[in-house]
Amino acid sequence: MEREFLDFINEITLTQCQCEDAQTKYTGVCQKLYSHYYNGEYDDGKKYLFGSYKTKTNVRPLTEDQDVDVLFKIPQSTYDKFDKYESNGQAALLQEVRNILKEKYTTTDTIKAWGKVVLVQFQENHHNVELLPALEQDDGAFLIPNSENGGSWETFDPRAEVERFQTSNESTNGLTRELAKMLKTWAHNTTSMSYKSCKRLDDVITFLDEFYPQGKETTSYAKIVFDFFDYMSSRCGDDIKSYINTALSHARKALEYDSNEKPVEASEQWRTIFGDKFPKVQSNPIKKNESQSIINPIRPWSF
- Over residues 223-273, the pLDDT tens digits come to 999 999 999 999 999 999 999 999 999 999 999 999 999 999 999 999 999
pLDDT tens-digit profile of 23-64? 999 999 999 999 999 999 999 999 999 999 999 999 999 987
pLDDT exceeds 70 at position 294:
no
Higher pLDDT: 303 or 4? It is 4
Q: What is the pLDDT of residue 108?
A: 67
Cα angle 183, 27, 23; round to 5: 40
pLDDT exceeds 60 at position 286:
yes
Mean pLDDT over the full length of the chain: 93
User: What would the mean pLDDT of 141-160 be, rounded to a whole number?
Assistant: 96
Dihedrals phi, psi of 172, to nearest 5 degrees: -95, 10
Q: What is the pLDDT of residue 218?
A: 96
Q: What is the pLDDT of residue 66?
A: 83
- What is the distance between the alpha carbons of residues 281 and 283, in angstroms, rounded to a whole number? 6
Q: What is the pLDDT of residue 158?
A: 96
CA 96 to chain CA centroid, Å, is 30
User: What would the mean pLDDT of 193-215 be, rounded to a whole number?
Assistant: 97
Q: What is the pLDDT of residue 37?
A: 98
- Report the 10 Å Cβ neighbour count for 53: 21
Dihedrals phi, psi of 222, to nearest 5 degrees: -60, -45
pLDDT exceeds 50 at position 299:
no
User: What would the mean pLDDT of 196-217 be, rounded to a whole number?
Assistant: 97
DSSP state string for 154-197 = EEE-HHHHHHHHHHHHHHTTTHHHHHHHHHHHHHHH-TT----H
User: What would the mean pLDDT of 110-139 be, rounded to a whole number?
Assistant: 93
Q: What is the pLDDT of residue 126?
A: 85
User: What would the mean pLDDT of 147-171 be, rounded to a whole number?
Assistant: 97
Q: What is the pTM of this model?
A: 0.89
- In which band, very low, low, confident or very high, does the pLDDT at 290 lie, cut at 50, 70 and 90? low
Q: What percent of the chain has pLDDT over 70?
A: 94
The answer to whether the peptide bond before residue 61 is cis (omega within 30 degrees of 0) is yes
Which of 274, 278, 11, 17 has the alpha carbon at shortest distance from 127? 17
Q: What is the pLDDT of residue 303?
A: 39
Cα dihedral angle (65, 68, 73, 77), rounded to 10 degrees?
-40
pLDDT exceeds 50 at position 302:
no
